[in-house]
Structure 1
Amino acid sequence: MTVDEFIQIWRDSTRTERSASQEHFLQLCHLLGEKTPAELDPDGVFFTFEKGANKTTGTRGWADVWLKGCFAWEYKGKGKDLKKAFVQLQQYALALENPPLLIVSDMETIEIHTNFTNTVAEVHLIQLEDLRDPQQFKLLKTLFNKDKIDEVFKPAKTRDAVTLEMAEQFTELAQRLRSRGHDPHQVAHFINRLVFCMFAEDIGILPKSLFTTLLESVLKQIRTGKNRFQQRMSELFAIMQTGGDFGLEEIDWFNGGLFDDDGALPLEKADVEHLLRAARHDWKDIEPSIFGTLFERGLDPDKRSQLGAHYTDRDSILRILEPVIFAPLNTEWEQIKLQIQSLLENIGKGTRKAKKSKNELEADGLYHGFLERLNNLQVLDPACGSGNFLYLTLLGLKDLENKVLIDAEMMGLERQFPRVSPKSLNGIEVNPYAAELARVTVWIGQIQWVLGHGYDLPKNPILEKLDNIECCDALLTHTGIEKNWKTVDFIVGNPPFLGNKKMISILGEDYVNQLRALFQGRVAGGADLVCYWFEKARAQLEQGRVQAVGLVSTNSIRGGSNRKVLDRIGETGQIFQAWSDEPWINEGAAVRVSLVCFTSPEKQQFYPITTLDNQVTSEIYSDLTTPNTAQTLDLTKAKPLAENASVAFQGTIKVGAFDIAGDLAREWVKSSFNPNGKPNSDVLRPWANGMDVVRRYSDTWIIDFGVNMSEDDASLYEKPFEYVVKNVKPKRVGKREERANEKWWILQRSRPEMRLALKPLFRFIITSRVSKYRLFIWMDKTVLPDSRLYAIAREDDTTFGILHCRFHELWSLKTCSWHGVGNDPTYNAHSCFETFPFPDGLSPNIPASEYADNPHAQAIAKAAQRLNELRDNWLNPPNLVQRVPEIVAGYPERILPMNAEAEKELKKRTLTNLYNLKPQWLVKAHEVLDNAVATAYGWEHHLSDDDVLARLLALNLARSEK
């Protein structure tokens, strides 16, 4: 058959769809040189006519033609509405295994609709006459080539990219409006309305091009000197509030709270031009799972710094939603489906009667009962942000309901209209910008799903009121009592990541004190903010007010005071799935998180499989390890030892620019002419932070007025005090924390206990809190450690050696928390140091003088001295450095490069680089030290890691019981 013959036949044909569709397709196959369904797949497994036809009930299939992995094709009679054919394919796309192409045809026109995940849908239109075009002919041949379909048809632009582009358009407009003095909340609300109008006209729930045409009309008037933008927008919003006529067009009732009044802001000519450019984009395919996050950054002035940052992708969120919500519901339906199939298996074609049999009635009851369960489900996100968890929850529930409807139809049951809606979603969000965006996100997601699956939208109103997304505090009410969370089926979400140290400065001292008092005994006083959400969710489980919970936290929840909330979860319930350490995006920044899913003993039957990091296990401990990974060792049972108390201290916290360059400090020391007759060296001292340990010393000093010097006395040190007045006071005064206000000239956490413990020593041990390697070095007593360091108040080489041995490093890695996108281990005095059992007779509560003659102590000290000496020689070779006395007597000498070449080389000589290289002399020095410490414990020299940890835990538990 030639192209002309094919065109002639089908141009003149007047046959109906039913009589002509298969013949049209077969002739098209012959024309294209492609095999027909019968030729390629005689059994009709992957290429067939009438896909989904039910022989029992006699119903027609979901698609007239189906080729697995390529297309689903539906015909209509010549001149008929192809939209109806497309709607049918949309409704049954899931049953058709979501082919990449949905094709409809009336035998004169072929419409190819792309159906790829996360892409902007495209439509390719081919008329009969177009078959003469070699490119169009080739395009049709590609439909049958699975390997070529992606290359030819997959749209280049993703929905994520479109959404990002749209968000950028409105960020600029929001900034302009705020700069003109408009209230930021009014600006955000107004822009949400504009965005929704653009989406609505492109997806077809506002009359076609109505909003764009309105903007064009307004702009035309502005160019003649009449700016009626605000008036025209108000008129449109007023109609959307109630429904009615807008000019010649009829507009449905929208409201839902988004259009609860006619308020609009005035725009200038440039703004309207900007808005019109945005409106001419296609908004129907914006991606709701990231829409809220991206627009929130543009609308909330406090989040402008996050513009352009990454966002949490849907796959990450589904790692919470899938195990907690969707997996058990899918399992439940599969079990019900088996029951229904069993009930109906003996009812064959032709036996169905007007009056249903007992089996049919029972099958109907099971089917409708599950649909009712889905429809009544309630999910709470108690920190819902801009709604990405809520949207993906809605999407998953609607997809499951759709699957149930299709499965039921295949079994001969009556197809129902989908009923799952946003009424199943509950959110709590304290940020008003995010709360409104959460509602908009859910509305857009609901509308996209309904229309995208071929259904009609409910219109009374179009926007269901979402009062179940509350804008309020999730923990405390305005009267200071604990916020009550409603009874729901599931709790999921990503509560705020705010560390213990930042809570007061951001939330205020009164609020934090109130929160800690209210949760005393349930959440540790030094715990991060996220822990309060975990405890509240645990309490809901214990009270039978939720089936299961899935929450995200920073990975530090595995250790320290944070872990106590997981301890409590383990005591009253079960962690059934967790990811211990995963990358995540929080407030635009890359972080490391733990994903924790837990349930109560009464609901464990819904979660029969326990997995950690995608590996099946028998149990998950509260530090998010398992018997499989630690040979049944549960190091969360380790307890702080009294003998280790009050030895390790976190360094000072500045809160303000108290640190200064060494050269400036020396200049002030030289020019000490203070009215009190005292030198500036009284309040100036060298300072070190974590980088000074893992890299090279930065030559930084700090202005330190001690722990209780009065403002009057401090002011007598003229230059240091003037510097603090200029650089610290503006940032400290007005802070929420009283301590920051009252003594703004003093370090916010000056650590009097640490100073007292270090005072009698000539040196002390320090380690960086966050570090790739667990490194310890000596620090001169005159140096003040920063909060990124832990200071150990010991000056003996024996303690230094024990801390730097393999056994303490292993223990610290198992008891530490983890920090940042680099996922570096974070040392903690409470969990790492205070729980570590030192060798007998060498614990930190014993003065070094008492074990000076102990041969084990001597061997460890000798090995530690040698390790320190070798490292120092490598870090500071005599041919590269010169040692210069410091300007203040008694302060440690300065180590300076001999010349520019030496300076360049010394920059490479850091402890981190040394331990990256691990030269053999370093390995051997550590081996000698490890053997000396092993002997002190009475152990063999080459124990496995698990054996070491088992012995240390046994020692800890034995000593803690004394």
Structure 2
Amino acid sequence: MTPEGGDPGWPEADVIIGNPPFLGGKLLITNLGEEYVTNLFRAYEDRVPREADLVCYWFVKAGEHLGGGASKRVGLVATNSIRGGANRRALERATGGRPIFDAWSDEPWVIDGAAVRVSLVCFSQADDEFTPERRLDGERVDEIYTDLTARRGEAGVDLTKARRLARNAGVAFMGDTKGGPFDVPGDLAREWLQEPTNPNGRPNSDVLAPWMNGMAVTRRPAGKWIVDFGWTMVKEEAALYEAPFQHAQEHVYPMRKGNRDEVHRVHWWRHLRPRQNLRAALDGLSRYIVTPRVAKHRLFDWLDVRVLPDSQLIVIARDDDTTFGILHSRFHEAWSLRKGTSLEDRPRYTPTTTFETFPFPDGLSPDLAATDYITDPRAQAIVSARPATRRTPRPLALPARVGGVDRGTRPRLSPAPSPPRREGPDRTKEANLDLPVQRPAAVARQRPHPTRHRRSCRLRLARGHHRRSGRPRTVDEKPPIAGAGIQRIEP
């Protein structure tokens, strides 16, 4: 940018080579200031998507320089997120009519202690006689696409041209964005649920719900709940739910009162983005499918409809096993890896570019009710394979329904205690969870994790069990090693 906030001109040059600064699109205002970023958006309006990373402005500027004949070739470094989302759209504009002749799609980059994953992209004028070959990751190819995949002869498809399908619309959503510490421990939420009714005669269950984020799906649930006043409740109404409102006033208000967005600043007791469309889509379901937005492995799980999903979860508003099975297929996994973006080396799943573009089998698409294909042999095959292929839905130790549905789709809940901890000297150290996970029989039969298996064997031997059969040893039997007593071995 020029000091006046304009688009600077670049001198003529044979080649443009550089390592532009890495700064994510969501961090522009924080690091560069609101005034600078406003001028940047204005100068590159309709040229660079506003959600794009800072490095994309160099790519677009270099591509325009190439298009004007002021340069012949370009070679720039970017984070590997240049391959998807708004960044890829910027790369597509930069390389329009200017082929990528050499690229490294995903390489480690360590400098000054910072470790990131980068892509190196080289493109040129279409008639450049010095770049006849195309190479991707050091291998010769016939064509390189803007998602930095390639065609080799007849092998290779340009999935960047895949478009969103109308029949997939309105099914996948990002979860609720709370925009502040609305989440509370499960024990505190249960205390609030047990309190007498509020001055408005209503229970706290109106504004409390179990809450799960991506970590709760990929690891173990933390048993948290969340305060949720919806998106229409005014401050005076919210204040009548005394304990939850006091929590929001003490923990949320201090951080929201300085928000640049007037709506979010004034209505600080409401979630930042409550996803009304998501909640409407879940109405009438008993469960729904979730997948973490960012995860090393692409997995899907079931959640009870009473659980409010965080923005780090992508929600698929379906409750049938057929859709669940299709999403867990190798075809969809491969599609999601190609169409999604990434955070460092972890793939990111998106409702638009990943789910809405996926070609579901004809007759099994998400715009149809599950009852429409209940007799379809393909659907029946998926359902019959269910015990061996799907994860068992997480059983919920949630308060029971006590009648009525409050505030749209939220069922009223009555308090329930936490699952009791196991007592005794050999009790394992387990968290007291609201959402315990039970291992299905099919999984229980699988070979255990080797480290856990060895630890379990050592403990059984320490307690006097047979090494082979695992049955308790009688008082007359000796240890398997003559002259050696078996002592408890701590892990």
1:925-958 Cα deviation digits (max 9, x unpaired): xxxxxxxxxxxxxxxxxxxxxxxxxxxxxxxxxx
Aligned to 1:735: 259
Aligned to 1:689: 213
Aligned to 2:162: 638
Aligned with 1:747 (options 264, 271, 277): 271
Matches within 5 A, 1:502-581: 502-503=27-28, 515-516=40-41, 518-581=43-106
CA distance in 1, matches of 2:431, 2:445: 17
Matches within 5 A, 1:566-645: 566-585=91-110, 588-602=113-127, 604-628=128-152, 631-645=155-169
Q: TM-score, normalised by structure 2?
A: 0.77
Aligned-pair identity (%): 49
Aligned to 1:337: none
Matches within 5 A, 1:53-202: none
Q: Give the 3-state SS of the residue equivalent to 2:122 in structure 1.
A: strand
Matches within 5 A, 1:326-337: none
Aligned with 1:886 (options 399, 421, 427): 399
Q: Give the 3-state SS of the residue equivalent to 1:825 in structure 2.
A: strand
Q: 1:503 to 1:756 in 2, by over 3 A?
A: farther
Instruction: State yes or no: 1:722 paired with 2:246.
Output: yes
TM-superposed CA distance for 1:631, in Å, is 1.6
Aligned to 1:864: 386
Aligned to 1:837: 359
Task: Check conservation: 2:388, 2:442, Cα contact below 8 A.
Answer: no
TM-superposed CA distance for 1:511, in Å, is 6.2
TM-superposed CA distance for 1:682, in Å, is 1.6
Q: 1:759 to 1:837 in 2, by over 3 A?
A: same
Aligned to 2:328: 804
Task: Check conservation: 1:685, 1:704, Cα contact below 8 A.
Answer: yes
Q: 1:624 to 1:659 in 2, by over 3 A?
A: same
1:501-523 Cα deviation digits (max 9, x unpaired): 44456566776566556544433
Aligned to 1:762: 286
TM-superposed CA distance for 1:640, in Å, is 1.4
Gaps of 5+ in 1: 1-473, 877-882, 922-962
Aligned to 2:422: 899
Q: Give the 3-state SS of the residue equivalent to 1:571 in structure 2.
A: coil
Over the aligned positions, Cα root-mean-square deviation in angstroms equals 3.5
Q: 1:915 to 1:525 in 2, by over 3 A?
A: farther
Q: 1:886 to 1:710 in 2, by over 3 A?
A: same
Q: 1:760 to 1:488 in 2, by over 3 A?
A: farther
TM-superposed CA distance for 1:675, in Å, is 2.6
TM-superposed CA distance for 1:794, in Å, is 1.0
CA distance in 2, matches of 1:789, 1:619: 35
TM-superposed CA distance for 1:774, in Å, is 1.3
CA distance in 2, matches of 1:658, 1:629: 54
Task: Check conservation: 1:504, 1:737, Cα contact below 8 A.
Answer: no
Aligned to 2:371: 849
AA paired with 2:378? Answer: H
CA distance in 2, matches of 1:888, 1:831: 37
Q: 1:858 to 1:559 in 2, by over 3 A?
A: same
AA paired with 1:845? Answer: D
CA distance in 2, matches of 1:552, 1:737: 34
Task: Check conservation: 2:98, 2:124, Cα contact below 8 A.
Answer: yes
TM-superposed CA distance for 1:647, in Å, is 1.2
1:331-366 Cα deviation digits (max 9, x unpaired): xxxxxxxxxxxxxxxxxxxxxxxxxxxxxxxxxxxx
1:793-830 Cα deviation digits (max 9, x unpaired): 1111111111111211121122222222xx12211222
User: Relative to total residues, which structure has the larger helix share, 1 or 2?
Assistant: 1
Highest RCO, 1 vs 2 (Cα 8 Å, sep ≥ 6): 2
Q: 1:810 to 1:904 in 2, by over 3 A?
A: farther
AA paired with 2:84? Answer: G
Task: Check conservation: 2:231, 2:270, Cα contact below 8 A.
Answer: yes
AA paired with 2:399? Answer: E
Aligned with 1:828 (options 350, 353, 359): 350
TM-superposed CA distance for 1:689, in Å, is 1.1
Instruction: State yes or no: 1:482 paired with 2:4.
Output: no
Q: 1:532 to 1:807 in 2, by over 3 A?
A: same
CA distance in 2, matches of 1:595, 1:752: 40
Gaps of 5+ in 2: 403-410, 449-491
Q: Give the 3-state SS of the residue equivalent to 1:601 in structure 2.
A: coil
Q: 1:568 to 1:885 in 2, by over 3 A?
A: closer
CA distance in 2, matches of 1:582, 1:895: 47
Q: Give the 3-state SS of the residue equivalent to 1:491 in structure 2.
A: strand
Q: Give the 3-state SS of the residue equivalent to 1:527 in structure 2.
A: coil
CA distance in 2, matches of 1:720, 1:829: 32
Q: Give the 3-state SS of the residue equivalent to 1:836 in structure 2.
A: coil
1:823-858 Cα deviation digits (max 9, x unpaired): 122112222211111111111111222222323223
Task: Check conservation: 2:196, 2:203, Cα contact below 8 A.
Answer: yes
Aligned with 2:233 (options 691, 697, 709): 709
1:849-886 Cα deviation digits (max 9, x unpaired): 22223232232233235533xx439x99xxxxxx7453
Instruction: State yes or no: 1:499 paired with 2:49.
Output: no
Q: 1:663 to 1:800 in 2, by over 3 A?
A: same
TM-superposed CA distance for 1:480, in Å, is 4.9
User: Relative to total residues, which structure has the larger strand share, 1 or 2?
Assistant: 2
1:135-165 Cα deviation digits (max 9, x unpaired): xxxxxxxxxxxxxxxxxxxxxxxxxxxxxxx
Q: 1:760 to 1:917 in 2, by over 3 A?
A: closer
Task: Check conservation: 2:62, 2:94, Cα contact below 8 A.
Answer: no
Task: Check conservation: 1:762, 1:780, Cα contact below 8 A.
Answer: yes
Q: Radius of gyration: which is bigger? A: 1
Aligned to 1:467: none
TM-superposed CA distance for 1:581, in Å, is 0.9
Q: Give the 3-state SS of the residue equivalent to 2:164 in structure 1.
A: coil
1:205-258 Cα deviation digits (max 9, x unpaired): xxxxxxxxxxxxxxxxxxxxxxxxxxxxxxxxxxxxxxxxxxxxxxxxxxxxxx
AA paired with 1:523? Answer: V
AA paired with 1:554? Answer: T
Q: 1:489 to 1:850 in 2, by over 3 A?
A: same
CA distance in 2, matches of 1:866, 1:803: 15
CA distance in 1, matches of 2:186, 2:308: 14
CA distance in 1, matches of 2:93, 2:290: 33
Task: Check conservation: 1:505, 1:735, Cα contact below 8 A.
Answer: no
Task: Check conservation: 1:757, 1:793, Cα contact below 8 A.
Answer: yes
Task: Check conservation: 1:509, 1:736, Cα contact below 8 A.
Answer: no
AA paired with 1:802? Answer: I
Q: 1:724 to 1:814 in 2, by over 3 A?
A: same
CA distance in 1, matches of 2:131, 2:230: 56
Q: 1:503 to 1:543 in 2, by over 3 A?
A: same
TM-superposed CA distance for 1:777, in Å, is 0.7
Q: TM-score, normalised by structure 1?
A: 0.41
Q: 1:698 to 1:622 in 2, by over 3 A?
A: same
Q: Give the 3-state SS of the residue equivalent to 1:811 in structure 2.
A: helix
